[in-house]
Amino acid sequence: MKKPDVKVVLLGDVHVGKTSLLHMYVEKKFQDTVSTVGGAFYLKQWGPYNISIWDTAGREQFHGLGSMYCRGAAAVILVYDVCNLQSLVELEDRFLALTDTASPDCIFAIVGNKVDLTEEIPVGQETEEQKLASFSSSNKVRRQVCKSDAIALYQRILKYKMLDEKTVPPAEAMCFETSAKTGYNVDFLFESMFDTVLPFIKNKKGKGSAGTVDLADYKTGKGKNSSCCS
Ligand SMILES: Nc1nc2c(ncn2[C@@H]2O[C@H](COP(=O)(O)OP(=O)(O)OP(=O)(O)O)[C@@H](O)[C@H]2O)c(=O)[nH]1
Ligand SMILES: [Mg+2]
């Protein structure tokens, strides 16, 4: 098997949907999951490159392994559940420090998953009674995290990492909302990440090997496929 060119890691609290996002992206289906033990590794071929995507366990008992999985990562995808504010808080309190072992120019994305569970109510258009009635009749739950909260976290991450805003992708481009259940934005998330880490691969190859990177090959997306190595 060809050595991966670059590593992408998913981090986040238990139950936020990290494994489901990967299943939906790799296998195009939403299926039952069991809470991840340790970590699992998928390989994605992206044009001429091999990208390893690491799914990690959110459970506290595996916390110590997180920094090992992040070692040398070119990108970290921090996942929270839009219906669970605490899962966003945990990203900063518990998971961000694990990324200290990632590459110094690591790229971050923040992903609010499970948007299918939320009832989007246009602000100011419904009374409290109407909102309550709509929630109870549809099994939807109220969203606890807005995209602006994720954008604010992204900006704090840049400060923590001492990254210059001008040299990294803007917050609006790196904060996503997804549903692993319906597939909403799942391909877009992963493919935007791969597009963003491409210069990283190019830089690494330029330093480490005589090979050159043909961006035209990459843009055609020829030969994209994936395999699970978990
Ligand atoms: N409605 C809905 N449920 C989801 C979604 N994503 C995941 N789930 C459900 O949430 C639960 C947890 O999903 P997992 O993908 O196992 O979560 P995880 O983040 O990998 O959890 P750990 O491996 O324990 O860290 C499962 O019951 C999933 O079916 C989503 O987008 N929408
Ligand atoms: Mg999991």
- 115-144 pLDDT per residue, tens: 999 976 544 545 556 555 555 556 788 899
Q: What is the mean pLDDT of residues 155-170?
A: 91
Q: How far is the CA of 55 from the centre of ligand 2 (A)?
A: 7
- Coil vs helix vs strand at 156: helix
Ligand 2 midpoint to CA 56 (Å): 6
ipTM of the complex: 0.99
Q: What is the pTM of this model?
A: 0.85
| Beta-sheet strands, E only, within the chain | 6-12, 39-46, 49-56, 75-81, 107-113, 175-177, 225-228
Q: Give the residue whose CA is nearest to atom 13 of ligand 1.
A: 17
CA dihedral (24, 59, 154, 84) positive or negative: positive
Q: Identify the pLDDT of residue 1.
A: 59
Distance 186 CA to ligand 1 centre (A): 14
Strand partners, 75: 8, 107
pLDDT (mean) for 110-119: 94
The pLDDT, as a whole number, for residue 174 is 96
CA distance 135 to 145: 17
User: For residue 12, what is the DSSP state?
Assistant: E
The per-residue pLDDT for 63 is: 86
